[in-house]
Amino acid sequence: MIVVRDSSEYLRSYARAALWVSNAILPTFLAPRQGQTYLQTWHGTPLKRLGCDIETGTSGNALYSLSDVRRRYHSEGARISWLVSPSGYASERLGSAFDLFATGEADKIIEAGYPRNDALCTFTPEDVASVRRRLGIPAGKKVVLYAPTWRDDQHSSKVGYTYESQADFAALRAALGDDYVMLFRAHYLIASAFDPASYEGFVLDVSAIDDINDLYIVSDMLVTDYSSVFFDYANLGRPIVFFMYDLERYADELRGFYLGLDELPGPVVRTTPELIEAVRASGSPDEDALERYERFRECFTYLDDGHASERVLARVLPAPGVSRDME
């Protein structure tokens, strides 16, 4: 059953459900009562600092001060019953971001792989062909998925978070349009994105596609910046390019990173010409690039084997005979 957010049925569902599952911080007025379980899956392995780990700057973001951000993550850590982690690295970072180590609640972490990535281990060629038809991707064209994240300081009070593209899509089309199409996926927080109509036939706006796994499996390579999408995408072993045109500002003034750039599974570029060259070169990585990619996968995706959902549910679901209705 689908209910409208913040409606009476929405509130009633939370009050009655035995198990809550969320991949983001829920509204603070929702509080699990005795007998209810709250499974926090989060929405990706973090590159950028989160919650109680943010140290860069003092202003927080457009909606919350830095102290508010830390308070929200601390409160979420106290409220949840379980926190899913896809790796040892993620356990350390998410446990710290949600203040679980400081409060002695690290046993809430389920280090079992990401259930959402099970599909990346089980899809078929027929699945790929079906998604390509649904999106209208021309036969014979290679696919670049461009999935940037949001910026904490790009916000309009009347619109929400906005996207200010620094990629020259006209130059990208001129250089790559004969062989490639680009899927543009805006972050879900972004309320306004660029209009792809001027680049019809080259840029497809796929921001409304619900399941990003569909976009992963049809893409020949990923272009992102600081989004956690590349951790998931690495399960496919396909090329990844990091278009970090605002690297210094993001690293020094907005968030800061958990990883060094030399640990990323692909090249970092700053300009559209560099991006074009990286896309063209993606099919012939050198030995060092291949080794770095493999080290990355060994560190971050080793638990993603198609069975993470089973392992998580085995820890979370009530024992047989326990009612899941809290009436």
Query: The tokens 């943010």 sit on which residue?
Result: 54
pLDDT at position 166: 78
Q: Are residues 133 and 282 in the same domain?
A: yes
Mean pLDDT of 255-267: 91
The total domain count for the chain is: 2
User: Is residue 145, in this structure, part of any structural domain at all?
Assistant: yes
Question: Do both 268 and 133 map to the same domain?
Answer: yes
For residues 167 and 203, state if they share a domain: yes
Which domain covers residue 184, as residue numbers? 125-300
Please, which pLDDT band fits residue 195 given cuts at 50, 70 and 90?
low
pLDDT of residue 66: 83
- Residue 150 pLDDT exceeds 80: no
Partnered with residue 155 across adjacent β-strands are: 161
Alpha helices in the chain (DSSP H): 8-16, 66-79, 88-97, 125-135, 169-176, 212-218, 229-233, 247-249, 272-281, 287-300, 308-316
For the entire predicted model, the pTM comes to 0.88
Q: Is residue 180 part of a domain?
A: yes
The CATH number linked to 291 is 3.40.50.12580
145 exposure class (CB count in 10 Å sphere: 0-12, 13-18, 19+): buried
Q: Which amino acid is at 213?
A: N
Residue 284: strand, helix, or coil:
coil
CB 244 within 8 A of CB 226: yes
pLDDT band at 198 (very low <50, low <70, confident <90, very high): confident
40-55 per-position pLDDT tens digit? 999 999 998 999 998 7
pLDDT tens-digit map of 124-139: 999 999 999 999 999 9
**φ/ψ (deg, to 5) at 34:** -55, 130
Compute the CA torsion angle 59, 257, 75, 42 (nearest 10 deg): 130
Question: For 243-249, what is the mean pLDDT?
Answer: 88
pLDDT in tens, 80-102: 999 999 999 999 999 999 999 99
Mean pLDDT (the chain) is: 88
Predicted local distance difference test score (pLDDT) of residue 140 = 94
pLDDT score recorded for residue 260 = 93
| Residue range 56-87, pLDDT digits in tens | 654 445 456 788 999 999 999 999 999 999 99
DSSP-assigned letters across all residues of 229-243:
HHHHHGGGT--EEEE
Q: Measured on CA atoms in the order 185, 255, 25, 46, is the torsion positive or negative? A: positive
Residue 56, in any domain of the structure: yes
131 touches 214 (CB < 8 A): yes
Q: Which amino acid is at 67?
A: S
Q: What is the DSSP letter of 17?
A: B
Tokens encoding 294: 């493999």
Give the mean model confidence (pLDDT) for residues 220-241. 96
| Residue 29, domain member (yes or no) | yes
Q: What is the mean pLDDT of residues 212-216?
A: 97
The residue whose two tokens read 């609640």 is 105
Q: How far apart are CA 30 and CA 248, in angstroms?
A: 38
Please check whether residue 40 is in contact with residue 82, taking contact to mean a CB–CB distance below 8 angstroms.
yes
